[in-house]
Amino acid sequence: MKRRITILLIIVTAFLVQSTILPGLQFASVGPNLLVIVTASFGFMRGRKEGMAVGFTAGLFFDLFWGTSLGFHMLLFSVIGYMNGSFQKLYYDEDIKLPLVLIGSSEFFYGVATCFFIYVLKGDFDFLNHLVHIIIPELVYTILATLILYQIILHVNKRLEAEEQRSASKFV
Amino acid sequence: MKIKKQSSLSSKYWLMILVLFCLFLLGVERFLGGGEMLRFIGNYTVVPMQKGISYVGRYLSDLSDNFDTLEEVRGEKDALQAKVDELTIENTRLRQEQYELDRLRELYKLDENYSDYDKIGAHVIANNGSNWFSDFTIDKGSNDGVKVNCNVLAGSGLVGIVTEVAPDYAKVRSLIDDASNVSGMVLSTSDTCMIRGDLKLISDGRLRFEKLQNNDNVIEVGEQVVTSHVSDRFVQGLFIGYISEIEVDSNNLTRSGYITPAVDFSKLQEVLVITATKEDLTGGKED
């Protein structure tokens, strides 16, 4: 229960920061995507199911307040959470390279999927332009933001896991 | 020791359930109007937090303005004084023309006047966090008389149109958003054109216009463009911007080019919402 509330708080905070504070820190009108970082991190730290649940919630916020139709980002983020969950066995705390690569590829996947489903299907075939002007800058910016945000999420997750272990061993 | 709650379904099935659920939501959105209930909840949970953060932001930027140097303020004062002089002269001239216009209107029995729309002010409390859309949230909603399709201004120019309304907030789509389409009119010649937002131009803050008839009217760079009389969602005569590039299309029938908007979309803080929609304004007349 405590874990659920904490994760929800992290998602809401990331959402609030991304919509209110970050627009003031944009370069060339592109900002980082914190919700992808949160979703991917919980995916590879905690496995497929939790990744999916976090992605689903993050996508819900995304669709309700920023998106055009309810369901699209929920689906996209659930899949991102699931795919990152598949890498849980390869992941261990001290390594920063795997998280960076996973979050980077999740962000790239998010960018290409959005571009394809929202713009290419509408008849806007200028993929290269979108790649250079939005997907790549957003990717770079998100990786920069990962360096900070991932440390926070890692710390919170460690605390939660330690606490869960304590309370579990108490009852055994 | 790691304890994991084992639920009966494996993650593969969960993924399938979620995918089907989302596809179902996307499918029924046309009929259900997607997430009205959830937005209502958001109105009382998330949006107040956004309001709080943007209030603190405004307070801090006010605070930093207090530390402007005297020199800067003086320079600004001189510039403003020059502007006031200029505007006073222009205002006198316009007032004379206004009297004339009133007289002529009376002669024509034209009592409607489009220039006085009821407006309410609103703060921008949040932007769209994704880089693919360009819209923002304002802190006034249906409780303050904001409706879907209300036009939104900032300073002197048009900013966008309200697309979603909840009790205490509303979502406004900017003109520069890729999905935005406005019917515009060149002020000097009354030729109409379509003004489209374009994802490629968002970073420059420019707009593209198309389908301007290639007739004998000479239209040059720097001409003013306003919303046209044929638009069914935008009220007439709202200032959009200046033409910055214009060229004849290869079909020789139309002209297209770029517009520099009157509003700086990257620095929106306060906006004005026109509470009457075009439908309200025209509906009563047609009956």
Q: Would A171 be classed as within a structural domain?
A: no
Interface test with B, best of A18, A26, A29 (most B CBs within 10 A): A29
Query: ipTM for the complex?
Result: 0.79
B273 neighbors B238 (Cβ within 8 angstroms):
no
Please give the residue range of the domain that contains residue A157. 2-21+29-163
Residue B217 distance to chain A (closest CA, Å): 32
Residue B111 distance to chain A (closest CA, Å): 40
- Name the residue among B246, B243, B262 with its Cα closest to residue B254: B246
Q: Would A172 be classed as within a structural domain?
A: no
The average pLDDT across A142-166 equals 91
CB contact under 8 A, B46 and A47: no
Residue A8 distance to chain B (closest CA, Å): 12
Interval A22-55: pLDDT, tens: 877 777 778 899 999 999 999 999 999 999 999 9
Number of domains in chain A: 1
- The per-residue b/e assignment along A142-166, b for 16 or more CB within 10 angstroms, e otherwise, is bbebbeebbeebbebbeeeeeeeee
Tally of CA atoms within 13 A in the half-sphere of B20 that contains its CB: 6
Q: A155: helix, coil or strand?
A: helix
User: Distance between CA B218 and CA B189 in Å, rounded?
Assistant: 8
Pick the most confident of A16-25, A145-154, A163-172: A145-154
User: Distance between CA B43 and CA B115 in Å, rounded?
Assistant: 33
CB contact under 8 A, B129 and A12: no
Q: Is B49 on the interface with A (CB under 8 A)?
A: yes
Low-confidence ranges of chain B (pLDDT < 70): 1-8, 30, 32-35, 107-115, 284-287
Residue A46 distance to chain B (closest CA, Å): 11
Q: Would A37 be classed as within a structural domain?
A: yes
The structural domains of chain B, with segments of one domain joined by +, span 68-111, 118-287
Interval B135-160: pLDDT, tens: 899 999 999 889 999 999 887 789 99
- CATH fold for domain B118-287: Thrombin, subunit H (2.40.10)
Q: Is B34 on the interface with A (CB under 8 A)?
A: yes
Q: Would A169 be classed as within a structural domain?
A: no
Pick B127's closest partner by Cβ from A12, A19, A130: A19
Name the residue in chain A with its Cα closest to that of B27. Answer: A71
Structure tokens at A96: 């920063």
CATH classification at residue A104:
1.10.1760
A6 neighbors A160 (Cβ within 8 angstroms):
yes
Tell me the DSSP string of B164-230.
EE-SS-EEEEETTSTT-EEEEEETTT--EEEEE--GGGTTTT-EEEEEEE-SS----TT-EEEE-TT
Which residue reads 């979703």 in tokens? A39
B21 neighbors B28 (Cβ within 8 angstroms):
no
Supply the pTM of this predicted model. 0.80
B269 neighbors B58 (Cβ within 8 angstroms):
yes
Q: Is B60 on the interface with A (CB under 8 A)?
A: no
